A = this chain, B = another copy of it.
Amino acid sequence: MKTKNDSLDSYRFFDPDEAVKKIAYELYLNVKDLPIISPHGHVEARMLAADEPFPDPTELIIIPDHYVYRMLYSQGISMESLGIPSVDGTPVEKDHRKIWQIFGDNFYLFAGTPTGIWLTHEFSEVFGIKEKLNSKNALEVYDRIVEKLKLPSFRPLALFEKFGIEVLTTTDGPGDTLEYHKQLKKPGLKGRVIPCFRPDPVVNITSKEWKKKIDEMSNASGIDVASYASYIRALENRREYFKSLGAVSTDQGVESPYAHRLRAMEAEAIFTRALNEKATEEDARRFTANMLMEMARMSAEDGLVMQIHAGAMRNHNTKVFDRFGLDKGADNPLQTEYTRNMHELLNEFGNDPRFTVVVFTLDESTYSRELAPLAGHYPAMKLGAPWWFHDSIQGMTRFRHRATETAGIYNTVGFTDDTRAFMSIPARHDLARRMDSNFLADQVSRRMIDMDDARTLGRALAYELARKTYKL
């Protein structure tokens, strides 16, 4: 974000101290060009399989990215004016140049934010745009991106290879047929696109969509889900199917990581109430707790790595949800407890060598208090990368500072971009590699570790830990 941004500064984001900066840069050069492993994210396989040109800058950069428009919205810019599609029929802006102009007018709001840093990287390194976006140059920048997007080298798969992606993991529902993943199994493609099994739509028994999602899972699995027992069988069936297409992991997004096995009779009773649309919120809470136990059991058996993303209150803003639907930047973090909530799960599976659970949090106070001590003891538990709001310069630094001393580097899993914004993938991995290099450089400079250690740890963080943890 320099006024005249002729090229991004090679030493950017490192500590101001010259000695640390030099070491950080040396360590960064050691990992900068390693392939990208993205073990968890939300890019759509469909987009890659179709491999069509991206429509335009607004469609590419603003409309799919709630990181971008939540900031604009917070400053009083309506989501309608930003072209975010409504689900209730409210008309929204269709003129993408007009939307982009608003974005340019307000780009200054992103100063010092990770979104600002990623976008600046994306503009500069992907599109060759070195100026800071502003009101004056917004439409010119728009046009330059439009020109680029017409080029064959800017098609999704060409970028996929240019970005150096070795593995890209998508997130898919239990009823998903994974047809695009099949299409992507073509010989020419360097790098893999693999699915991840996310059962949430069939676990959230009080959601309006639940029965529809159960039906989809019945269809996909060929198992008529009419009871808790058949439900479990269908889940196991779908996991196998996902595995057959390369899946190495599952993921569950839960408000609380509370895990507790229900007796079969209770599970069945709740499931029946859910089928009859009579399940209560307390039923849902207990059922989710039970399904964390069941998913852990299945993982111990089939080897898929279990991921838990805990602590978001979804759809906090009802007005936004009613008009725009899910995932519109209105999910907000909650205090989260792991030591008690995961007690039963870790007791039953935490010592099991077949099992791996990667835990993510939005509650940074748990890094040093709960997550690092647990991961520093249970062989099955690993710490996920700083997630979502915390995937930032200060956020990543806090994570390393608070988790490493107790958990060590080897009980963490490297970087996870978790993004919907395909174009931002290189920027995110580059930032993570810079911050990890900087963290290690500080330790070298304090003589906590030496350069040999730092180089080894740097490669582990940038590449090897993800490969190893996710068995890639």
Q: Which residues of A contact B (CB under 8 A)?
A: 1-3, 8-9, 11-20, 70-71, 73-76, 108-114, 117, 132, 313, 316-320, 329-330, 332-335, 337, 339-340, 343, 346-347, 350-351, 353, 362-365, 368-370, 372-379, 381, 389-390, 392-395, 398, 401-402, 404-411, 442-443, 445-450, 452-453, 456-457
Contacts known (A368-B389, A408-B113); A74 close to B379, Cβ less than 8 A: yes
Are B448 and A330 touching (Cβ within 8 A)? Answer: no
Which residue from chain B places its CB closest to the CB of A392 in the assembled complex? B405
Q: Given contacts A16-B442, A313-B339, A319-B351, is CB(A333)–CB(B373) below 8 Å? A: yes
How far does the alpha carbon of A73 sit from the alpha carbon of B353 in the complex, in Å?
11
Report yes or no: B113 in contact with A1, Cβ–Cβ below 8 A: no
CA of A368 to CA of B28, assembled, Å: 28
Chain B nearest CB from A237 CB (Å) reads 30
Question: Nearest 4 A-B pairs (CB), nearest first?
Answer: A12-B447, A16-B445, A392-B405, A365-B365
Residues in chain B near residue A405, CB distance under 8 A: 112-114, 389, 392-395
Q: Are A379 and B76 in touch, CB under 8 angstroms? A: yes
Across the interface, do A453 and B1 meet the contact criterion of CB distance under 8 Å?
yes
Q: In the assembled complex, which residues on chain B have CB atoms less than 8 Å from the CB atom of A375? A: 74
The one of B317, B376, B447 in contact with A346, judged by C-beta atoms closer than 8 angstroms, is B317
Residues of B within 8 A of A445 (CB): 16
B365 and A446 contact, CB distance less than 8 A: no
Asked whether, in the complex, the Cβ of B340 is within 8 Å of the Cβ of A313, the reply is yes
- Decide: A377 near B319, CB < 8 A? Known: A15-B16, A370-B332, A405-B113: no
Give the residue of B316, B369, B374, B407 whose beta carbon is less than 8 angstroms from that of A363.
B369
Q: How far is the CB of A206 from chain B (nearest CB, A)?
A: 17
Count of chain copies: 3
Instruction: Give A437 Cβ to nearest chain B Cβ, in Å.
Output: 13
**Could you name 19 residue pairs across A and B whose Cβ atoms are closer than 8 Å?**
A1-B448, A1-B450, A13-B446, A15-B16, A16-B17, A71-B376, A71-B408, A74-B378, A74-B379, A75-B410, A108-B453, A112-B443, A113-B408, A316-B343, A335-B369, A368-B389, A368-B395, A394-B401, A394-B402
Question: How far apart are the CA atoms of A295 and B329 in the complex, in Å?
Answer: 27
A132 neighbours in B (Cβ, 8 Å): 450
Q: Please, which residues of chain B bring their CB within 8 A of the CB of A393? A: 405, 446, 448
Query: Chain B residue with minimal CB distance to A19?
Result: B16
For residue A331, give the distance in angstroms from its CB to the closest CB of chain B.
Answer: 8
**In the complex, which residues of chain B have a beta carbon less than 8 angstroms from the beta carbon of A353?**
76
**Across the two chains, which residue of chain B brings its CB closest to A334?**
B339
- A334 and B330 form a contact (CB under 8 A): no
User: Across the interface, do A411 and B75 meet the contact criterion of CB distance under 8 Å?
Assistant: yes
Q: Choose from B317, B373, B453 the contact partner of A350 (Cβ within 8 Å).
A: B317
Contact B112 A13 (CB under 8 A): no
Q: Do residues A351 and B317 form an inter-chain contact, with CB atoms below 8 A? A: yes
- Contacts A12-B447, A329-B377, A392-B406 known; list 7 others, CB within 8 Å: A75-B411, A76-B379, A317-B346, A317-B378, A334-B340, A389-B405, A398-B401
Q: Is the CB of A408 within 8 A of B448?
A: no
Cross-chain contact of A447 among B11, B363, B443 (Cβ < 8 A): B11
Q: In the complex, which residues of chain B have a beta carbon less than 8 angstroms from the beta carbon of A457?
A: 111-112
Bound together, the chains give a CA A318 to CA B364 distance in angstroms of: 27
**Given A112-B409, A368-B364, does the pair A317, B449 have CB atoms closer than 8 Å?**
no
